[in-house]
Amino acid sequence: MASKLRRRREGFTMIEMLITLVVISSLLLLVMLGSQRINQSSLRTEQAFWTSFDGYWKQALSEAEYHNRSTMVKIKTDQPVVFKTNGHENKLNLPKSLHPDKNVLLDIRANSSISPQTVTFHSDIDHRIYRLVIQMGWGVYHVDRQAA
C-alpha cells in the first residue's frame, strides 16, 4: 500500500539543480577570467610593439641625419615590419593581434624627410584601430589609438 502512495519522481530535485548551477557558473567564470588574461597580455604585446617601433624609427632618423643614409620601412600584412638602411635590415615582428590595412612602403630620405601618410592597423583586441600618422617633413609621426 505504501508503494502505491509514492508518486513517480519526474525532473530534478532542488539539490540537483543547485549543483548543476554551481558547476556551470564555475566553468563560465574560469572562461571569462582566462579571456581577460589573454586580452591583457595581447595589449601589453601591442604596447611593446609601438615602443620598439618608435626606437627603430628614431634610429632610422638618426641614420639619415648624421650619416646621410635613407631607410625603407616595409609594412606588410602578417609579416615583420622591416627597416632597411644601407643594406642592413632590422625586423620588428607584428603582434598576432595587429593587422595593417594594406602593404605600405615608407621612405625616410637621406635628409630625414618623409612624405605624409597614414597607415591604419586593426587590432583583434576589442576591435581597436591604430592610425600611424606621418606628418609632412622631418619624420615626425604619432599613433592615434581608437576603439572601434
Is residue 3 included in any domain, yes or no?
A: no
Is residue 2 included in any domain, yes or no?
A: no
Is residue 9 included in any domain, yes or no?
A: no
HEC per residue, 18-39? HHHHHHHHHHHHHHHHHHHHHH
Task: Kindly state the DSSP code that residue 46 receives in the 8-state scheme.
Answer: H
The alpha-helical segments, DSSP class H, found in the chain are 2-5, 14-67
Is residue 96 included in any domain, yes or no?
A: yes
Per-residue pLDDT of the chain in tens (148 residues, 90 and over written 9): 555 556 666 777 888 888 888 888 888 888 877 666 666 777 888 889 999 999 999 999 888 888 899 999 999 988 999 999 988 899 999 998 899 999 999 999 988 889 899 999 998 887 889 999 998 777 788 888 886 5
Please, which residues have CB within 8 angstroms of residue 84's CB and are 6 or more apart in sequence?
A: 71, 72, 73, 74, 90
**Closest alpha carbon to 89 in 69, 66, 111, 72:** 72
CA geometry: angle 132, 123, 43, nearest 5 deg: 95
Is residue 8 included in any domain, yes or no?
A: no
Write the CATH number for 33: 3.55.40.10
Q: How many domains does the chain have?
A: 1
Domain of 96 in residue numbering reads as: 14-147
CA geometry: angle 91, 97, 103, nearest 5 deg: 55
What pLDDT, on the 0 to 100 scale, is given for residue 5? 59
Is residue 4 included in any domain, yes or no?
A: no
Is residue 5 included in any domain, yes or no?
A: no
**Closest alpha carbon to 75 in 23, 141, 14:** 141
User: What does the block give as the cell for 144?
Assistant: 592615434
Is residue 130 included in any domain, yes or no?
A: yes
**Closest alpha carbon to 60 in 42, 81, 39, 76:** 81
